[in-house]
Amino acid sequence: MILSMTGFGHSKTEINGKVIRVEIKSLNARSTEIRCKLPNSYRDREMDLRKRVIDSLQRGKLDLTITLDGFSEEENAFINADAFRKYYKELNSLRQELNITEGDILQSVLRIPNVIGQNEELADEDEWKLVEKTVDEALASIIKFRYDEGLVLRHDLIERIRYIEQHLKSIEPYESVRLDRIKERLKKNMEVFSQKQQVDQNRYEQEILYYIEKLDINEEKVRLSQHCTYFMEELDHKDDQKGRKLSFIAQEIGREINTIGAKAQDSDIQQYVVMMKDELEKLKEQLANIL
């Protein structure tokens, strides 16, 4: 099963005239990052919420947002009367002492930190259980989103691997022609050289065989085919987190394609190498979105 790292889930519920809305967003990332935006009444449970989200979504750049509709935290605001009196008296005393024209001291005092505060009323146990239930519903929603997007990614990855396998088979008709062409070129070069220098024919033939063996791409083709098969097998593996493993296999696929290109010395084969590289880059882009 393939799961995408990107997704969106939401849910809502109501209690005591308050509508609790939960939204969870996920983007692809190499590690797990989570950001929470919560009402003050839920701040004491933030670590519990973080663990709940990470355990369910495992990896990605995660955003958890909980909002309360029909309830404003401004309703819980209060004026610290003692602080207000203290600051007002001190400011008014300074104004008279320094002979400063009277201004709007009231607004100045209200802007001082701690003059206006918030009543910190934490959620009770019944409300918290409802919050947990709503978060779980949002998590179920985003997991389904990830699964549905994963099906699309799986189809695209299979298509890319199939194209690479097709291009690999297309190389075969050019292999024998390529070696014959290389032999002919070496032979002509040797004929020119032998007119000026004496050549040991046996040594020459040994060197030719050694050179041709170095240009042989059969081993690379076999390994590339095996890597493609292994990639397809891992796509259907039961493990949810397979993005990293598939990326490692893709690296091995790229290594074999590059070696084939380096050994080819043939323009026709190089064209198929370029096409395989193009498909591999598209595949890697999709792998970055897989859990």
Convert 102-135 to b/e letters by CB count within 10 Å (16 or more is b): eeeeeeebeeeeebbeeeeeebeeebbebbeebb
Residues in the chain: 291
Residues 99 and 188 in one domain: no
Quote the pTM value: 0.70
User: How far apart (Å, rounded) are the C-alpha atoms in residues 169 and 191?
Assistant: 35
| pLDDT, tens digit, 9 for 90 and up, residues 52-102 | 999 999 889 999 999 988 654 455 566 777 777 787 788 778 777 777 776
DSSP lists the bridge partners of residue 27 as: 61
Residue 176 lies in a domain: yes
| pLDDT, tens digit, 9 for 90 and up, residues 130-146 | 999 999 999 999 999 99
Query: DSSP labels for 178-242?
Result: HHHHHHHHHHHHHHHHHTTS---HHHHHHHHHHHHHHH--HHHHHHHHHHHHHHHHHHT-S-S--
Residues 190 and 232 in one domain: yes
Domain boundary among 89, 114, 139: 114
| pLDDT, tens digit, 9 for 90 and up, residues 241-290 | 788 899 999 999 999 999 998 888 778 888 999 999 999 999 999 999 99
Residues 132 and 228 in one domain: no
DSSP lists the bridge partners of residue 4 as: 290
Residue 76 lies in a domain: no
Domain holding 18, by residue range, is: 7-71+124-147
Residues 167 and 205 in one domain: yes
Q: Are 40 and 170 in contact (CB under 8 A)?
A: no
Residues 88 and 203 in one domain: no
Q: Are 153 and 286 in contact (CB under 8 A)?
A: yes
| pLDDT, tens digit, 9 for 90 and up, residues 154-185 | 999 999 999 999 999 999 888 777 766 766 66
Task: Please give the structure tokens belonging to residue 273.
Answer: 């190498």
Residues 249 and 229 in one domain: yes
Residues 201 and 260 in one domain: yes
* Mean pLDDT, rounded, for 179-202: 62
Domain count, the chain: 3
